[in-house]
Chain A
Amino acid sequence: MTNLTPLREPEADGRPFWAAAAEGRLVLQQCQACGKTRFPPRHQCPHCWSPDAEWKQASGKGEIESVTIVRRAPTAAFRDLVPYAIVAVTLAEGVRMITNLVGEGALNAQIGDKVNVCFEQRPNGALPQFQLVEPK
């Protein structure tokens, strides 16, 4: 799927996430007090409320927790893209992303399939997406 819609201007909490994505890297916040990784980005840890966090390079590896194929586009921007896959991915770091599965086999993916991060270029940045490690 190719979508040329500009990304929404990053908000302050997630600026490092989007800056890294533009360079083709996935980064996640890790709490320096309790050690937990959090997503979406936040000013403070939702587990222990510490504001001290470090942006860390993520493995980019995960597993499909659930998958759906969208066949009715929500907006005009997605009309030419249907059918497309939305997946809930559990990352190795323990957090979930709701994202697109793209590339070979995306429309036949199953719960439990292993995935890797990839990036879709947009006019003003890049959007992290995922692809199957072993397309069937």
Chain B
Amino acid sequence: MMTASLRNSAVVLGVGESDIGQVPGMTGLGLNAQAARRAIEDAGLRPDDIDGLLTAYSFTEPYFMLGSVLAEYLGLRPSLCAAMIAGGASPGVMIGHAAAAIAMGRARAILICCGENRATGMGRDDAVAALTAVGHPWYEAPYGAFIPALYALIAKRHMNDYGTTREHMAAVAVQSRANAALHPRAHKKAPITIADVLGAKPVSDPLGLLDCCLISDAAGAIVVTSAEFARQARQKPVWLHGLGEHHTHEHLVAAPSLTQFGALESGRRAYEMAGVGPKDIDIAQLYDCFSIVPIIEAEELGFSAMGQAGPEFAAGEFGLKGRLPVNTHGGMMSHAHAGAAGGLFGVIESVRQLRGECDARQVADAAIALVHNEGGILSSHCTMIFGREPR
């Protein structure tokens, strides 16, 4: 029988991340394997327990069929396996398909694993050049429109229409860095100030270097299982309450708007499935490839009125001590960004927060977490809501 909702259909039982930052001695697949091993250990499982594997993509390694490649590398022979590509939204999209597969009984324990060695595996110039690959090959790329420029167009329009300022965006970066300083594995921990962000090397106006996410070597992994399977494990499960996707375009040239994106609809679907609203959320991990993005997401997901998220970030409302802590691990601007892994780290952090394992950065009594993944140029959206108890 079809179930209309994924609420309580699956749990996250284990989470793990690879070594993060500059990890020159390891391949991308090696980082995935390390993260997978740590996630399985965290779940209290053994590799034999895994019967499904989902992964995303890699810019650094010359493989086709990355799902099968990773299964081969890990020595797994899963009954469900694929590589799914929705850019930065890939982790959320994979979690949705994994939960549905588990609800249908197609698998009991699915490993979701992604990331790459983008810092040392391709070099900084090649990594930046790869960012042109997301632009339309005929109608964006020839103009030198790489990813930062496309997000800069969005930032500029948000500033124009809603009064968002560079200082507001800088506050997002500063807050992320402060949170990352409390995370044992974060890539960048040295404190930064608003002045540092405003004075950083310009990339594409209004975005400077510190308005942009990192380029890291990193992989993340989670184990998604049925609630029944989790009952026999020693680890405490975290429950999927709701998940919603929305996809409006891939290339900015064809986006319906430069100011309205799919987070509004993916969020609406996730809230409806979970039976909660923005005011019920205790922590939020918002996709932050550029400093403007959490501002847009906070507004579309209902945490701020339109045009208010910037001033509210600047006022500390989304800091660890604020009304809604955001990107408690430091996000992609300070914790790590490596291909599809960036959004998965938001899930991993949420699980740790809901279990109460986060020491100095622990948000007291966090019971419900929202994670938003976004891919392309605010093109593909997936909003997830997790809780420490079933609801």
Contact = CB atoms under 8 A, between A and B. Distances in A.
A98 B160 contact: no
Given A39-B253, A40-B254, A65-B258, A11 B132 contact: no
Nearest to B377: A98
A71 B203 CA distance: 5
Contacts of A78: 144
Interface string B338-363: 00000000000000000000000000
Contacts of A129: 143
A86 B153 contact: yes
Given A66-B154, A66-B160, A127-B142, A86 B149 contact: yes
Interface string A78-97: 10010010111000000011
Contact of A98 (B132, B157, B252): B252
B251 interface: yes
Interface of A: 5, 7-8, 10-11, 14, 39-40, 46, 65-75, 77-78, 81, 84, 86-88, 96-100, 111, 127, 129
B128 to A, nearest CB: 6
B158 to A, nearest CB: 9
B131 A11 contact: no
22 contacts: A8-B137, A8-B141, A40-B138, A40-B251, A68-B156, A69-B205, A70-B146, A71-B204, A74-B128, A74-B144, A74-B146, A75-B128, A75-B129, A75-B132, A75-B144, A75-B146, A78-B144, A86-B145, A98-B143, A98-B153, A99-B143, A111-B157
A8 B138 contact: yes
B139 to A, nearest CB: 5
B142 A66 contact: no
Contact of B204 (A7, A69, A75): A69
Contacts of B51: none
Given A88-B258, A98-B145, A68 B205 contact: yes
A81 B146 CA distance: 14
A39 B136 CA distance: 12
Contacts of A99: 143
A81 B204 CA distance: 13
Given A66-B157, A66-B258, A111-B156, A86 B143 contact: yes
Given A66-B258, A71-B205, A14 B138 contact: yes
A74 B143 contact: no
B326 to A, nearest CB: 25
B129 A74 contact: yes
Interface of B: 128-129, 131-132, 135-146, 148-150, 152-154, 156-157, 160, 201-207, 209, 251-255, 258
Contact of A39 (B139, B146, B204): B139
Given A40-B251, A65-B157, A72 B138 contact: no
A126 B358 CA distance: 56
A5 to B, nearest CB: 8
Given A40-B254, A66-B154, 10 more contacts: A10-B138, A68-B156, A68-B207, A71-B203, A72-B201, A74-B144, A86-B153, A88-B252, A98-B145, A127-B143
A78 B204 CA distance: 13
Given A8-B137, A40-B139, A72-B203, A100 B149 contact: no
A96 B204 CA distance: 20
Contact of A68 (B128, B152, B255): B152
B317 to A, nearest CB: 27
Contacts of B258: 65-66, 88
Given A10-B138, A74-B132, A98-B140, A66 B204 contact: no
Tell me which of B135, B146, B149, B152 has the highest count of chain A C-beta atoms within 10 A of its own C-beta: B149
A16 to B, nearest CB: 13
B261 to A, nearest CB: 14
Given A68-B153, A68-B204, A111-B156, A73 B252 contact: no
B156 A100 contact: no
Given A74-B128, A74-B132, A98-B143, A67 B137 contact: no
A100 B118 CA distance: 29
Contacts of A86: 143-145, 149, 152-153, 204
Contacts of B150: 98
B143, B148, B157 interface centre (most CB from chain A within 10 Å): B143
Contacts of A66: 153-154, 156-157, 160, 258
Nearest to A84: B144
A81 B254 contact: no
